[in-house]
Chain A
């Protein structure tokens, strides 16, 4: 795919010679595809950066994207696709920023004419394809790292252990419970039990969209581990559909207390602790 020394020399001459015209046309095409979501000035700066990177690299002779001397070009391309990925542009919109160069080159080749023009255009076009693929790859890489970061943040954020009462802690589970999250929840809950010396824990599954055998297994493991340490667990927040699923799947919670709402669970624990929770008549002003 690499350009020969001769070809890259001509590319440098072509792009370098018509610098103003090239960046102008290039910016116009890209701006059209982005529909004004990026300012003209910023777009122009990006295009100029790319243009100068390509010219500099092609002046050094053979262009090979994987070679040592193309480091600057690679950096410029990665920079562009990283920016696009973070700003929420689609993959097509990112790739077009590079592929627009083809159209510019086609215009230039037509103007120049001559016997070598067509062959040169094909070679340049191949190079642009390669640049486009590289951009696409770094775009995907950036997106993937974004997703990984978010997953980690989600894991950190979504498992708080809150103290409800003296000796009563609660874990409101929100979102799907996979093995990794179940492990984090279990460890954090057990550690909190030790740190606070609470003999009761309430696991609230109101925010869990679906309970299958695997999720039930994770919850049961947590309860058994807490029991081994000398704390009792109550499961609360079981919605009607979830209750039906649990029965249909034949999941046995054994002698683990289950309550419909967090309030019921708290009242249950308080009664076990000997705290009176009488329902009073609401006071009325006469």
Chain B
């Protein structure tokens, strides 16, 4: 069975989907990704779908599942490189890929994850003084 390669770049895992997804490859990808997130401690996942001509409800659900799994493991998921034709088809079908963040290309995706990560750290640092003022 073919497997989708998962590459580690800094604090980010990059998944580039280059083949037609079947049930088996989807499940394998989910398992592999979950393992890699835990093993590497990465906080961002980028899924590159530039090579996909067709994104149907099956692929859409797979992306949603991956995003949910990553979220549980404290990693932000960004889907990048969706083609215009694919986006138009998804809109016409009424599929909206809820809960998935998107970016135009891998570079923008990495910026997005870095920005989200920075916000989160700021927020955690800001947390303590807020708590003190809230409960005097």
Inter-chain contact A225/B103, CB cutoff 8 Å: no
Inter-chain contact A190/B108, CB cutoff 8 Å: no
Interface residue from B88, B91, B104 paired with A199 (Cβ < 8 Å): B104
Inter-chain contact A194/B84, CB cutoff 8 Å: yes
Given A228-B82, A229-B82: A190 and B88 interface contact (C-beta under 8 Å): yes
Inter-chain contact B108/A228, CB cutoff 8 Å: no
Inter-chain contact A231/B97, CB cutoff 8 Å: no
Interface residue from A197, A198, A199, A229 paired with B87 (Cβ < 8 Å): A229
Instruction: Give a binary string over A153-185; 1 marks a CB under 8 Å from any B CB, 0 the rest.
Output: 000000000000000000000000000000000
Residue of chain B at shortest CB distance from A228: B87
Residue of chain A at shortest CB distance from B96: A224
Inter-chain contact B97/A197, CB cutoff 8 Å: no
| CB neighbours of B103 from chain A (8 A) | 199, 230
| CB neighbours of A95 from chain B (8 A) | none
Residue A186 interfacial (CB < 8 Å): yes
CB within 8 Å of A: which of B92-136? 92, 96-97, 101-105, 107-109, 112
Give A231 to B81 CA distance when docked, in angstroms.
11
Instruction: Give a binary string over B77-92; 1 marks a CB under 8 Å from any A CB, 0 the rest.
Output: 0111011101110111
CB within 8 Å of B: which of A215-232? 221, 224-231
| CB neighbours of A198 from chain B (8 A) | 104
Give A262 to B78 CA distance when docked, in angstroms.
30
Of the four ranges (under 10, 10 to 19, 20 to 34, 35 or more), the interface on chain A belongs to: 10 to 19
Residue A212 interfacial (CB < 8 Å): no
Residue A193 interfacial (CB < 8 Å): yes
| CB neighbours of B84 from chain A (8 A) | 187, 190-191, 193-194, 225, 229
| CB neighbours of A191 from chain B (8 A) | 84
Give A234 to B56 CA distance when docked, in angstroms.
28
| CB neighbours of A230 from chain B (8 A) | 78-80, 82, 101-104, 108-109, 112
Inter-chain contact B90/A225, CB cutoff 8 Å: yes
| CB neighbours of A225 from chain B (8 A) | 84, 87-88, 90-91
Residue of chain B at shortest CB distance from A224: B91
Give A5 to B67 CA distance when docked, in angstroms.
86
Give A199 to B103 CA distance when docked, in angstroms.
8
Give A197 to B105 CA distance when docked, in angstroms.
7
Inter-chain contact A186/B104, CB cutoff 8 Å: no
Residue of chain B at shortest CB distance from A188: B84
Of B79, B87, B96, most A-chain CB atoms within 10 Å: B87
4 more contacts with CB within 8 A, not counting A190-B84, A231-B104, are A225-B91, A228-B87, A228-B96, A230-B82
**B interface vs A, CB < 8 Å?**
78-80, 82-84, 86-88, 90-92, 96-97, 101-105, 107-109, 112
Contacts A/B (CB < 8 Å), 12 sampled: A186-B88, A190-B84, A190-B87, A194-B83, A224-B91, A225-B84, A228-B86, A228-B90, A228-B96, A228-B97, A229-B84, A229-B104
